[in-house]
Structure 1
Amino acid sequence: MADKINRVVLAFSGGLDTSVILKWLQQTYGCEVVTFTADLGQGEELGPARHKAQLMGVKPEHIFIDDLREEFVADYVFPMMRANALYEGLYLLGTSIARPLIAKRQIEIAHAVGADAVSHGATGKGNDQVRFELGYYALDPTIRVIAPWREWDLGSRTALIDFAEKNQIPVPTDKRGESPFSTDANLLHTSSEGKVLEDPWTEVPDYVFSRTDDLVAAPDTPEEITIDFSQGDGVAVNGEALSPAALLARLNALGKRHGIGRLDLVENRFVGMKSRGMYETPGGTIYHAAHRAIEQLTLDRGAAHLKDELMPRYAELVYNGFWFSPEREMLQAAIDHSQAKVDGTVRLKLYKGGVHISGRKSPHSLYSERHVTFEDDAGAYDQRDAEGFIKLNALRLRLLGQRDR
């Protein structure tokens, strides 16, 4: 017998899985369900989610559909991009970075409506269950979490459809067959996993791609753009000031046209297994390259190299779901401190899947042409100073060589 729950806030997409979960929660726990649907720029019409929730008995005042696009980019994507975060050196963390915001808003709604619990539709095999629940517990240590995929016996898509039909839950015709792969999308990326993608030797079929045009169809001439940065965050594209979400959307459109941002990755999940997925991150790929380019001018060598040492740890924390942990916040404070003078403009050329830096300038540039020139530097740098520098750095190597000779 399940413990008594009076009210639960469900992360609800309106799709087959979460629709079944909604009904299952009502039946299993005899509780009132509050639905929360986040608009993170996934490009889907969210009206059907509201209609579906109402159809299944959710009170209109308990249906939350929130536009979180600006908060998502400004408070989650941009801080992560300041760190140049890449999980396992490649993955721009598009799914990972969305989960803490969803968890945060769920907890806020739970408090507002007096809910006892929160629920999600993540399976027991993946990373998302960890990310959601670490977020829940960090923000409300007393909250009850219901993870249906770890409790029920509906272990297949056929079982979900059977349950839906028995409970008069509408199942669109195109959802009745076995899905060829699963997707997750937001303003930063689209990820595709499972089924046709499970064999890492099999090439990703063309029909999987939704956010990037094929390289063959991409323009045959490069497109040059500029991105302006202020304190480490993008503020304008081609001289036009844009909000964080609008800026990322603009870069997405540019990247899509040029086939930029495809990543075929076999990654190590936090739960222990390897998985293969196709990630499309067009705007994020452009942004990441541009941010590194402006840092090349504005960060001191010590700060830049330390950031690169911290980055894998930061990326792993985000991937594993520790966004609200003290260690991530400590790293963020150090990273944000480094961005105070990361201002300026980067010029890039986009061409056939590639992002190529063609120029950068900054009012806070540390680059000195006078010091680096091969021409007469008029005393800016005394090359004879290098001899002592080299001898001091060679001392230990010479001592080792003498000992071991």
Structure 2
Amino acid sequence: MTTTQAVQTAPSEIVRSFSQLDGLDPDRPVVTLFSGGLDSTYLLLRLRRMGLREVHAVSVDIGEDESGPYKRQVAEALGARLHLLDRRTEFAERHVAPAIAAQAVYLGIHPVSSTLSRPLIARSAVELARSLGAQAVLHTANRSQNTLRRLNGALRLLGYEGAYGSPYDLDPVTRDDKLAALRAAGVDLLAGRIVSGDSNLWCREFESGILDDPERHEVPEEMYTWSRPTAAPGSSELLTVTVERGRPVALDGEPLPLTELIDRLNRRVGAYGLGRYSGLEHLDHGEKVLEIREMPAAWLLLASHRHVESACLDAELVREKRHLEQVWVREALEGRWFGELRLAVQSFVDSCAVRTSGSVTWRLRTGGADTRSITADRPLYLRDREAWEERAISAESAAFAPSAGSLLPAAA
């Protein structure tokens, strides 16, 4: 069987090298994920050089840094049709909100972020590919990026009928070679980048480049957008987050869509220098890589949810949920967002969320935040310990008091 036949007929074929692309039918559409970065831009160049007549570059807008006009300029320069899909609301409601309820924090180090976006990006690409009758869905993750197994896992579980995968998996291309090829093609827009970035409305993330070495790294302050301290020294402010059925729904009493609530908190909380994370994340075979994040809204919303949850749920239920939260995180991290186990755990999380309603008032200050009020609609907490003790003792005494007319043992 030729490579061309395999691409057209084998629904499970995974693209892992550039040589496999030679078998693509030049007359059939190809869909490729396009971030506007160096790897995805170079892939467009390679597809153009192959003579493919219909290349569709898909960019899923989930609140990222790269601008639409910039992406359109690059895609058009390389002969691809850009599809810019606004999925911000869907990302917040169907991916971030469940992650808040699941307390999705990687090994207690940092909230997960790109993990949440990959399933949505994959599903958006598959929907477009099916509508076009595309022969392949390509992306540009390499084997030092966890995105490789997350996108491939999502595409597999979605049952995409064509070929899919990343040619960089087994066929890496050096940064210098990619830049040189693009310059020769008249596309010279990416040379100034010093790290690999990934952003959405929930998180801004940096890795690689000057961050390759965990033993020696530094992030230039100007790279941070949300968490650059701007509040006056010694200043503070109060804010209140309201949670209903496990979902943040209001800020300072004002009902807001989750996208806007996150946007406001990223700036208000970040003004105090809060919400930065750095840590190591494992690759497919156990190696670790350094990743730097800023996510002020996530920092506060996850803490707010935990406080309200603790006020509403029994301690044993919370203990069991904490265990299952890491199962949820593991399944999402390993590319099994659409898998049965993650969905089963989500059902448990949702059953806990139904009873999680209340609010938390915080005092923000430079370098930290303190709670000022934790309120639940149906609380399990005490507000007056002494009064509770009196009631509890009285009730216990009444339960064990001898009834009238009962026989008492004679004194010895």
Task: Please indicate the TM-score interval, normalised by the length of the shorter structure.
Answer: 0.7 to 0.9
Letter in 1 for 2:364: L
For the structure 1 residues 64 and 372, does the alpha-carbon distance in structure 2 shift closer, same or farther, using more than 3 Å as the test?
Answer: farther
Q: Name the residue aligned to 1:358.
A: 372
Checking the alignment, whether the CA contact within 8 Å between 1:25 and 1:31 is kept in structure 2 is no
Letter in 1 for 2:162: I
Rounded Cα–Cα distance in structure 2 between residues aligned with 1:372 and 1:319? 47
The CA RMSD over aligned residues, in Å, is 2.4
Deviation for aligned residue 1:104: 0.8
Q: Name the residue aligned to 2:23.
A: 3
Is the aligned partner of 1:320 residue 2:339? no
Is the aligned partner of 1:171 residue 2:188? yes
State which of 157, 177, 183 in structure 1 corresponds to 2:175. Answer: 157
Q: Name the residue aligned to 2:259.
A: 245
Checking the alignment, whether the CA contact within 8 Å between 1:212 and 1:258 is kept in structure 2 is no
Q: Name the residue aligned to 1:393.
A: none
Q: Name the residue aligned to 2:406.
A: none
What are the Cα deviations for residues 208-235 of structure 1, in whole angstroms up to 9, with x where unaligned? 6413444596642222100111110000
3-state SS, counterpart of residue 105 of structure 2: coil
Rounded Cα–Cα distance in structure 2 between residues aligned with 1:184 and 1:326? 28
Rounded Cα–Cα distance in structure 2 between residues aligned with 1:29 and 1:354? 56
Rounded Cα–Cα distance in structure 2 between residues aligned with 1:123 and 1:113? 26
Q: Name the residue aligned to 1:389.
A: none
Rounded Cα–Cα distance in structure 1 between residues aligned with 2:220 and 2:274? 15
Checking the alignment, whether the CA contact within 8 Å between 1:110 and 1:117 is kept in structure 2 is yes
- Equivalences for 1:40-59 in 2 at 5 Å? 40-59=62-81
Checking the alignment, whether the CA contact within 8 Å between 1:230 and 1:342 is kept in structure 2 is yes
Q: Name the residue aligned to 1:117.
A: 136
For the structure 1 residues 4 and 283, does the alpha-carbon distance in structure 2 shift closer, same or farther, using more than 3 Å as the test?
Answer: same
State which of 27, 39, 64 in structure 1 corresponds to 2:61. Answer: 39
State which of 320, 323, 331 in structure 1 corresponds to 2:345. Answer: 331
Structure 2 gaps of 5+ residues are 1-18, 400-412
Decide which moves more: 214-223 or 189-198: 214-223
Structure 1 gaps of 5+ residues are 386-405
Rounded Cα–Cα distance in structure 1 between residues aligned with 2:395 and 2:163? 65
> Given the two structures, how large is their TM-score scaled by the length of structure 1?
0.86
Q: Name the residue aligned to 1:135.
A: 154
Is the aligned partner of 1:287 residue 2:301? yes
Decide which moves more: 226-235 or 271-280: 271-280
Q: Name the residue aligned to 1:87.
A: 106
Checking the alignment, whether the CA contact within 8 Å between 1:93 and 1:318 is kept in structure 2 is no
Letter in 1 for 2:357: D
What are the Cα deviations for residues 144-190 of structure 1, in whole angstroms up to 9, with x where unaligned? 1141213546x21110012113333x112xx325x422211110111
Checking the alignment, whether the CA contact within 8 Å between 2:153 and 2:334 is kept in structure 1 is no
> Given the two structures, how large is their TM-score scaled by the length of structure 2?
0.85
Q: Name the residue aligned to 1:310.
A: 324
Letter in 2 for 1:14: G
Deviation for aligned residue 1:12: 0.9
Deviation for aligned residue 1:383: 8.7
Checking the alignment, whether the CA contact within 8 Å between 1:134 and 1:322 is kept in structure 2 is yes
State which of 272, 276, 281 in structure 2 corresponds to 1:258. Answer: 272
Rounded Cα–Cα distance in structure 1 between residues aligned with 2:161 and 2:370? 49
Deviation for aligned residue 1:273: 1.1
How many residue pairs get aligned? The number is 377
What are the Cα deviations for residues 23-51 of structure 1, in whole angstroms up to 9, with x where unaligned? 21233473521111111111332122123
Rounded Cα–Cα distance in structure 2 between residues aligned with 1:340 and 1:356? 26
- Equivalences for 1:259-278 in 2 at 5 Å? 259-278=273-292
Rounded Cα–Cα distance in structure 2 between residues aligned with 1:199 and 1:373? 57
- Computing the radius of gyration over CA atoms, which structure comes out larger, 1 or 2? 2
Rounded Cα–Cα distance in structure 2 between residues aligned with 1:30 and 1:98? 28
Q: Report percent identity of matched pairs.
A: 27
What are the Cα deviations for residues 329-348 of structure 1, in whole angstroms up to 9, with x where unaligned? 00000100111121111111
